[in-house]
């Protein structure tokens, strides 16, 4: 099918997800893209403690995982012509931690000029999954494996004497609660770091338009937070009881404002606002389960994507989506043992990649038809920077405009929705957490 297109093919450069602690490139088989006349590049990078522990002083440099991906992208630019790819037509893409990664690339000065388009699925660098006290995390990991000297050189030497198994088996203990997503993740490196990936928070660079001004697709699944919510409500009854009895202690952790400089009264006030807005002031439980799912979805995924779309759209075209299609398979079958389909975090993977865990869509099924639709849509963006090959009933995917935001609802059929979940996005915006994080900005 692609015999006449033998050179200068568009390139799709994929960074895999897995929470920055797991996963591999070969888990994602690009079978569905292989009829689209593109060159697909898949990579691996250091994960967990090996990729993201840092002393923030040059002894244990930060962001090694992102720097691995950056090196692979540079290699792709230098050599992709030997694989019939066009180095001037590279789209970087990822889901979950992969989406967060490509969003970091969008903001990073180190990655400028290495790609022409970005597709960030269910992940944004503007969600504050950034280590707030990296040195503390490094010291704590050291203590967990018997390295008690806090001096950076001594700590590095001791950590290097440990086995990979010792480091990996202890890294999960850095969590401060069941839901804690910001321990082994990217960091903002010191200004004097050698060959840094980033020395400033991505929010600031994207807000000022200092990132790569390239077209962006960014979006989420309908109920991103259900995996997080299910861990609490379905799997760990003691954690649910603890969440409700210690709301003022735990809410700042799971909603990512425990690090901000404010009084206890101010912090408790934010916790009250979240409970009142999403839960009607009631405890988390069966009656308020959907509200809790929404709150986790919004803080951890939806608002970051929406905020990034709002800021980046001032400098380049942005296409925002919500994937709402259910189908007959869900990753909650595998991860949580549930039998009801949920459009959860990671649900979209099955429509873009063949994986060992998800069955292939059956011929003639809605699941196959939906997958073919979104692959065509993504491919048109990969080739041109404009997602023109849209569903039969939707002729254009409107650019995101923060004054009157448009979201493409990916479903059967699809539709352009105005002000989608806008009230919920404004709730987070009006909490003014950015002003607490970056005073004077």
Q: Supply the residues annotated as catalytic.
A: 96, 224, 345
For helices 247-254 and 237-245, what crossing angle results, to 10°? 110
Cβ–Cβ < 8 Å for 405, 422: yes
* HSE, side-chain direction, 13 A CA sphere, residue 123: 31
> Could you write out the three-class secondary structure of the chain?
CCCCCCCCEEEEEECCCCCCCCCCHHHCECHHHCCCCCEEEECCCCCHHHHHCCCCCCCCCCCHHHHHHHHHHHHHHHHHHHHCEEEEEEEEEEECHHHHHHHHHHHCHHHCCCCCEEEEECCCCCCCCCCCCHHHHHHHHHHHCCCCCCCHHHHHHHHHCCCHHHHHHHHHHHCCCCCCCCCCCCCCCCCCCCCCCCCCCHHHHHHCCCCCCCCEEEEEECCCCHHHHHHHHHHCHHHHHHHHHCHHHHHHHHCCCCCCCCCHHHHHHHHHHHHHHHHCCCCCCHHHHHHHHHHHHHHHHHHHHHHHHHHHCCCCCEEEEEECCCCCCCCHHHHHCCCCCCCCCCCCHHHHCECCCCCCCCCCCHHHHHHHHHHHHHHHHHHHCCCCCCCCCCCCCCCCCCCCCEEEEECCCCEEEECCCHHHHHHHHHCCHHHHHCCCC
CA-nearest of 192, 223, 20 to 104 is 20
- Looking at the DSSP bridge assignments, the partners of residue 117 are 91
Whether cis (ω within 30° of 0) applies to the bond prior to 365 is no
CA-nearest of 185, 189, 168, 199 to 60 is 189
């Amino acid at each position: 099918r692609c015999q006449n297109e033998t050179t200068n093919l568009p390139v799709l450069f994929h960074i895999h997800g897995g929470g920055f602690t797991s996963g591999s490139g070969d888990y994602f088989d690009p079978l569905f893209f292989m009829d689209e006349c593109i060159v697909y590049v898949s990579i691996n990078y250091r994960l967990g403690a090996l990729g993201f522990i840092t002393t923030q002083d040059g002894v244990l440099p930060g962001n090694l995982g992102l720097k691995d991906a950056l090196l692979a992208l540079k290699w792709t630019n230098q050599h992709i012509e030997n694989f019939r790819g066009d180095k001037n037509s590279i789209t970087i893409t990822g889901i979950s931690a992969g989406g967060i990664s490509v969003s970091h690339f969008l903001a990073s000065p180190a990655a400028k000029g290495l790609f022409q388009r970005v597709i960030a699925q269910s992940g944004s660098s503007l969600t504050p999954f950034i280590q707030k006290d990296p040195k503390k995390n490094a010291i704590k990991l050291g203590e967990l494996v018997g390295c008690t000297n806090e001096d950076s050189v001594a700590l590095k030497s001791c950590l290097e004497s440990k086995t990979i198994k010792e480091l990996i088996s202890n890294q999960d203990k850095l969590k401060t609660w069941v839901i804690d997503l910001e321990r082994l993740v990217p960091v903002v490196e010191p200004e004097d770091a050698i060959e840094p990936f980033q020395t400033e928070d991505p929010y600031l660079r994207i807000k000022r338009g200092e990132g790569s001004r390239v077209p962006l697709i960014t979006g989420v699944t309908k109920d991103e937070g259900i995996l997080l919510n299910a861990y609490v409500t379905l799997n760990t009854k003691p954690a649910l009881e603890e969440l409700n009895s210690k709301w003022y202690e735990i809410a700042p952790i799971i909603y990512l404002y425990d690090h901000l400089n404010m009084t206890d009264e101010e912090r408790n006030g934010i916790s009250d606002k979240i409970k009142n807005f999403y839960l009607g002031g009631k405890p988390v439980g069966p009656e308020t389960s959907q509200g809790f799912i929404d709150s986790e979805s919004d803080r951890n995924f939806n608002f970051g994507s929406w905020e990034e779309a709002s800021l980046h759209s001032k400098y380049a075209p942005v296409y925002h989506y919500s994937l709402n299609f259910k189908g007959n398979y869900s990753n909650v079958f595998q991860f949580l043992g549930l039998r009801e389909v949920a459009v959860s975090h990671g649900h979209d993977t099955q429509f873009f990649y063949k994986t060992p865990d998800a069955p292939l869509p059956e011929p003639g099924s809605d699941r196959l038809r939906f997958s073919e639709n979104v692959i065509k849509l993504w491919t048109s963006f990969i080739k041109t920077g404009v997602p023109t090959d849209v569903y039969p009933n939707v002729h254009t995917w409107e650019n995101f405009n923060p004054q009157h935001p448009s979201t493409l609802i990916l479903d059967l059929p699809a539709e352009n929705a105005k002000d989608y979940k806008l009230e919920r996005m404004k709730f987070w915006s009006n909490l003014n957490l950015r002003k607490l994080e970056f005073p004077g900005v």
